[in-house]
Amino acid sequence: MDTWTSSSSNSYTITSPVYQKFLDEAGDGPLTDDLLQCLAEELISLDERDASIGPLNPNKEKSNQESSREDDRVMGLNMFSEIASRGSGTVLGSGLVLDDTVTWRKGEVLGRGAYGTVYCGLTSQGQLIAVKQVILDSSDADAANKEYSRLQGEVELLKTLRHINIVGFLGTSLQQHVVSIFMEYIPGGSIASIIHRFGPLPERVLALYTQQILEGVAYLHVNRVIHRDLKGNNVMLMPTGVIKLIDFGCARRLSCMHHTTCNSVDLLKSVHGTPYWMAPEIINETGYGRKSDIWSVGCTVFEMATGKPPLAHMDKMAALFYIGAQRGLMPSLPDSFSENAKEFVKICLTSDQKLRPSADQLLKHSFIPTNVT
């Protein structure tokens, strides 16, 4: 068993309005069976109401769409975990409650990458977490310090990110040259694994997932953060349909001090990412900015729609040369998809990053649903 200390200043609370209503009614008294039954009935009725609305409701005002969209997503979080954990710590968006010091046990491997191994963990409170671990090289002090500094940068970024479409950060520990980063556990798996299990996504589901990816990316960009490695493996799915962006090992914060003065031409000249999802400017090392994430969004949408990223029929080096040369057109979505979907991917995969739309602009594209059911 290991332990880590969680700072309450690094926690955040997301509570469903329906759930909060029942907590208010309960007050300091017990959560009786009657209250829980009423809550369950209310949730079921909300699901039935949402299903009856349909994908589009032109009579619904924009303000109502925007306010209900966030409420519907918050509703998708694990409220029964919140009920079970009420009154003992800080409630996180996944229903996880942390005391100041948490004991945990390492479980199976959830994934491996260039920046560490992610394990499933079980806390002493009986809750599942994701733990990213990196073993520092104890034989090379300089290399260990460099790696530790990089991990500190990742942690500092994660601490500041509070959004429903960004994985929740819980805490860190350093024990015997092993750095652990504790995060919200997302049981649905990655979008890449979902595609592997179920095949390419139907257009309606594709659009709903794309909307949430864009909202997460827009949040990052307004906070001067660029992800630099968006792809199906780094987009996770909650069982409720909520999308979470993960793996900020490559992410960087733009260097300008005030994000209001930043724009898409703020660039970082370093190569990061995965070949099939890389923008031309990354390959050519002409600078990476917010718009490079937009290219990766287009590749991820293509991946969700077809099961593979663009140019997957080529080997990695051939794909890099093709994208970097900017001489050939990127493939379009199959004819079975709507013109809106095809155009969305096309404008994301515009070679000149200055001509690519921003995440906020893409959220207004006709491919993106105007309300979420």
18-59 pLDDT, tens digit per residue, is: 445 544 554 545 545 555 555 555 544 444 444 443 333 334
Backbone torsions φ then ψ of 122, nearest 5 degrees: -120, 120
161-196 pLDDT, tens digit per residue, is: 899 999 988 888 888 888 888 999 999 999 999 999
The pLDDT score that the predictor gives to residue 65 is 47
pLDDT value at 70 more than 60: no
* Domains of the chain and any CATH numbers: 2-7+96-184 (3.30.200.20), 17-75 (no CATH), 191-363 (1.10.510.10)
Output the CA angle 157-213-210, nearest 5 degrees.
Answer: 170
Classified as helix, coil or strand, 244 is: strand
Beta bridge partner(s), residue 252: 226
Number of CB atoms found within 10 A of residue 314's CB? 15
Pick the catalytic residue from 24, 50, 229, 315: 229
Distance CA 229, CA 250 (A): 6
The pLDDT score that the predictor gives to residue 136 is 86
- What angle, rounded to 10 degrees, do the helices at 62-75 and 33-53 form? 130
117-152 pLDDT, tens digit per residue, is: 999 999 988 999 999 898 888 788 888 888 787 777
The pLDDT score that the predictor gives to residue 99 is 42
222-250 pLDDT, tens digit per residue, is: 988 888 889 999 999 999 999 999 887 67
The pLDDT score that the predictor gives to residue 69 is 43
Q: 115 vs 226, which has greater pLDDT?
A: 226
- pLDDT band at 8; cut points 50, 70, 90: very low
The pLDDT score that the predictor gives to residue 146 is 80
273-329 pLDDT, tens digit per residue, is: 578 999 998 888 777 789 999 999 999 999 999 999 999 999 988 998 899 887 668
The pLDDT score that the predictor gives to residue 38 is 54
Classified as helix, coil or strand, 290 is: helix
- pLDDT band at 373; cut points 50, 70, 90: very low
Distance CA 240, CA 232 (A): 18
pTM comes to: 0.69
144-148, 215-219, 258-262, 314-318: which has the minimum mean pLDDT? Answer: 258-262
The pLDDT score that the predictor gives to residue 195 is 96
Has 229 been annotated as catalytic? yes
Q: 88 vs 261, which has greater pLDDT?
A: 261
pLDDT value at 343 more than 80: yes
Mean pLDDT of the chain: 75
Classified as helix, coil or strand, 29 is: coil
- Binding-site residues from annotation for ATP: 132
- Binding-site residues from annotation: 132
Give the rounded distance of the alpha carbon of 84 from its chain centre. Answer: 26
